[in-house]
Amino acid sequence: SGGDGEIPKLPPPDPSNSDIPTIKLGETIRFEEWGPIILNTDGTTRRIENWDQLTEKEKQVTWRRISKRNEERRLILLEQQQQQQQGRTQED
């Protein structure tokens, strides 16, 4: 765009497309049909690619396992963060 410094903008959403969820201030939206979010050991997240292909039983087992593992990882990440903060405080 000729370097005029203007930042390109996304086009407005198509109101006739009902596949795109919308949310207004103060509302909540649930993403359970997309499956659980996996918390990786480094704190990044990802999704299960084939969630829509799993059976209901597989989904239940997966939710349970990932929920437990995510909580364990979350606690480890929080502990690591606290240790880093304490280390910075001691250096000051």
pLDDT by residue (tens digit) across 49-90?
Answer: 999 999 999 999 999 999 999 999 999 999 999 999 888 777
Q: pTM for the complete prediction?
A: 0.61
Q: Is the pLDDT of residue 4 over 70?
A: no
CB atoms within 10 A of CB 36: 20
pLDDT by residue (tens digit) across 7-44?
Answer: 888 888 777 877 776 778 888 777 778 899 999 999 99
**Residues 44, 73: Cα–Cα separation, whole Å:** 11
DSSP 26-91: T-----GGG-PEEE-TTS-EEE-TTGGGS-HHHHHHHHHHHHHHHHHHHHHHHHHHHHHHHHHHHH
